[in-house]
A and B are shown apart, each in its own frame.
Chain A
Amino acid sequence: MNEPRYTGKGTDFYLASDSIAEIVNLAIDLKRPILVEGEPGCGKTMLAYSIAAEKKLGEVVKISVKSTSRAQDLLYRLNALRRLQDAQNPNNPQAQYVYPYLSLGPLGAAIHRKKRCVVLLDEIDKADIDFPNDLLDVLDRFTYQIDELPEAEEQQCLKERSFGRTVEGNKDAPPIVVITSNREKRLPEPFLRRCLYVRVKFPESVDELQDIVRKNTKLSPDALSDGVLVSAVEAFLRVRRLAVGNTQKPPSTSELIDWVQILHWNGKTPESLNQDPKRPPHWGILFKTMADLDSYESLSRTDAKAD
């Protein structure tokens, strides 16, 4: 293994804990997919980008899974309708062949490229329950078959398109697969067993959150003073503690980053942030639904009275 290890600290936009970095390294060594779960907005997707950036693997191949996604479409597509149209024209000899109408999908192309890259399957739980199982074999062996390509055309396809009926990935350095899930649906057991599991937790320490905000807002200490940032993070943690368990979606890191940005634009001071501990300025943008806003509103009022 002469590749550098993933540390989780090497990028300017993401911080991964040591335990997460360790699981990522283990998954890379064992060539297994990484399944990332955690609260919405705590940086599941960013983990993939940080692996790619730190290991200098170029662009992340991002696949946003939809409810209509089929496993095969990620590998390759055959444009049969186009072929049918072309076949109408007797002067077009191309339609005799299948291979000009084949195109590799994002995952298929990533495997075919044979160069290590990071593949991100975002929100896999949105898809049909068969989707993960269909992918299992491909993610296991990084090899797939194009059954639609007739054997007679294989040589020509290899010459012109550089792939044949069997597309094999680089066995030694297969793509690093990162899968995120919001637990909307339970994933099938065999799939879970194949993945290494990472649970991204919400960082509760002020220092860590400060670091995350600095890295993501790109505001230098001159532009945003430490005093404001510390009081903002503390105020945010107060709101979050009250919101956890009482709201559907408690504010998470992504809301914190937006909020600090807005505080910065409005030129808030630490004093103004601490005026009303339960209701810091612009607290409303920390919540995403009407119901959550309402419940926090009443919660913070009753709590203030109790104090």
Chain B
Amino acid sequence: MIRLPLEGLFLHLVRNGFPLSVRDYQDAIVALRLGHGTLTRDRLRWLCETLWAHTDEERIRLARLFRDLPQPTPEAIRTMTGVREQEVTTPASPRETAEAETMVPRNEDQEEGRAPSVEFASAAEPGGVGLPQAVVPSALRQSHILTPRPSVSLRQMIVTWRRFRLARRFGPKVQLDIDATIAEKSRRGTLVEPVLVPARRNQARLLVLFDASPSMVPWCGMGKMVADSFGRSQLGFTAIYYFNNDPEDGLFDSERLTRPKLPQDVAREHPGCALLVVGDAGAARGRTDRERVRSTRRFVQRAYDTSWWPIAWLNPMPRSRWAGNSAARIAIIPGIAMFELKEDGLVQAVDHLRGKGRH
């Protein structure tokens, strides 16, 4: 069986989570046929990078893969050059062997004392305290790019908010009302001026309460992201407040739980909003706190009274971790619909807010 050029590399990348399609592969083959990225291994790497790697992280991973590729054996080159006669071009050509010699074989890198050692930072250092620090030798000679991957991406969030619509005609009259215009014309016989109506705008109101307590630290960036997403959401009205474990205890203006607001004031300022609560409801620590559940029940009652309704609750902990602690008890409070904080969960929560959950 003849193996297609680059097939192994492509499949390897796909298995490693590169979001590539068959089309990307076909493009690479076409490019090879047209003479891009042939002759040397560096040029082949350039081609793969240009076509397949779209973020810095992917570029580094691809570079590593290329570095780790074994040198072609003479036998492999013979087979590949054999393929070359049948196909128009293949990535590996005889000249590549010369190039391949300059590449660093993998083993050398690994042997250069990779075992991490532990050092104590001296008190003279700015840190002050002698904390143990893992020292990884710089022999790796590569930078690590750590990309934060929130459980729901900003874009996904913006797109999901768009599901939350309550269109009403509002604002300046800018749209042509065709029916009314025709009716006007038939009534008067001639059209004096077209009848205009205000455009439909989204009047959905959303209030988000975000738990900023210590147990929510892993998701602390999320609150800012939610606030960012509001700016581009096209929702009629949005607001976000923070609370410490229990929304009944008080609401705050900032994620650092400074600038407290009286719940009555918040209720007066933002009447008639759908309410989305983001919090672990005790699932992160895994404790059952009866008082907290009771207090949350009181909060739900008060939210209902101030027409914050319906209520959806997004829990960043997976559903399996709700059992046996306060989260499970809060999830079954009448009026609260609790979902996991991930893409499906967010969509379900918004569906709940837009009326599927109204009782």
* A binding-site residues for B, Cβ under 8 Å: 1, 19, 22-23, 25-26, 29-30, 32, 81, 84, 88, 129, 186, 188-189, 192-193, 196-197
**Are B19 and A193 in contact (CB-based, < 8 A)?**
yes
CB within 8 A of A81: which of B19, B36, B176? Answer: B176
Q: Which A residues are in CB contact (< 8 Å) with B194?
A: 84
Q: Which B residues are in CB contact (< 8 Å) with A189?
A: 19, 155
Main secondary structure of the interface of A (DSSP, over half): helix
B137-166 to A contact mask, C-beta < 8 Å, 1/0: 000000000000000001100110000000
B241-252 to A contact mask, C-beta < 8 Å, 1/0: 000000000000
Docked CA distance A19–B176 (Å): 52
CB within 8 A of B34: which of A1, A32, A84, A193? Answer: A1
CB within 8 A of B54: which of A23, A25, A192? Answer: A192
Docked CA distance A29–B33 (Å): 10
**Are B155 and A129 in contact (CB-based, < 8 A)?**
yes
Query: Beyond A26-B36, A29-B36, A129-B232, is A197–B54 a contact (Cβ under 8 Å)?
Result: yes
* B binding-site residues for A, Cβ under 8 Å: 19, 24, 27, 30-31, 34, 36, 46-47, 50-51, 54, 154-155, 158-159, 176, 181, 190-191, 194, 232
Docked CA distance A205–B159 (Å): 44
**Are A26 and B158 in contact (CB-based, < 8 A)?**
no
**Are A193 and B232 in contact (CB-based, < 8 A)?**
no
**Are A32 and B232 in contact (CB-based, < 8 A)?**
no
**Are B54 and A29 in contact (CB-based, < 8 A)?**
no
Which of B24, B27, B159 is the most central at the interface, judged by chain A CB atoms within 10 Å of its CB? B27
Docked CA distance A1–B36 (Å): 13
**Are A30 and B31 in contact (CB-based, < 8 A)?**
yes
**Are B54 and A26 in contact (CB-based, < 8 A)?**
no
Query: Beyond A1-B34, A129-B232, is A26–B50 a contact (Cβ under 8 Å)?
Result: yes
**Are B191 and A88 in contact (CB-based, < 8 A)?**
yes
Shortest Cβ-Cβ A-B pairs, 6 listed: A29-B34, A26-B36, A30-B27, A192-B54, A88-B191, A23-B50
CB within 8 A of A26: which of B47, B159, B232? Answer: B47
Docked CA distance A268–B97 (Å): 56
**Are A32 and B50 in contact (CB-based, < 8 A)?**
no
CB distance from A16 to the nearest CB of B (A): 15
Q: Which B residues are in CB contact (< 8 Å) with A1?
A: 34
Query: Beyond A26-B47, A84-B194, A129-B155, is A32–B54 a contact (Cβ under 8 Å)?
Result: no
**Are A29 and B30 in contact (CB-based, < 8 A)?**
yes
Q: Which A residues are in CB contact (< 8 Å) with B46?
A: 19, 22
CB within 8 A of B31: which of A19, A29, A186, A197? Answer: A29
Docked CA distance A189–B19 (Å): 10
22 A-B pairs, CB-CB below 8 angstroms?
A19-B46, A22-B36, A26-B31, A26-B36, A26-B50, A29-B34, A29-B36, A30-B27, A30-B30, A30-B31, A32-B27, A84-B181, A88-B190, A129-B155, A129-B158, A129-B159, A129-B232, A186-B155, A188-B155, A189-B155, A193-B19, A196-B51
Q: Which B residues are in CB contact (< 8 Å) with A19?
A: 46
Tell me the nearest residue of chain A to B158, going by C-beta. Answer: A129
Docked CA distance A26–B154 (Å): 32
**Are A193 and B54 in contact (CB-based, < 8 A)?**
yes
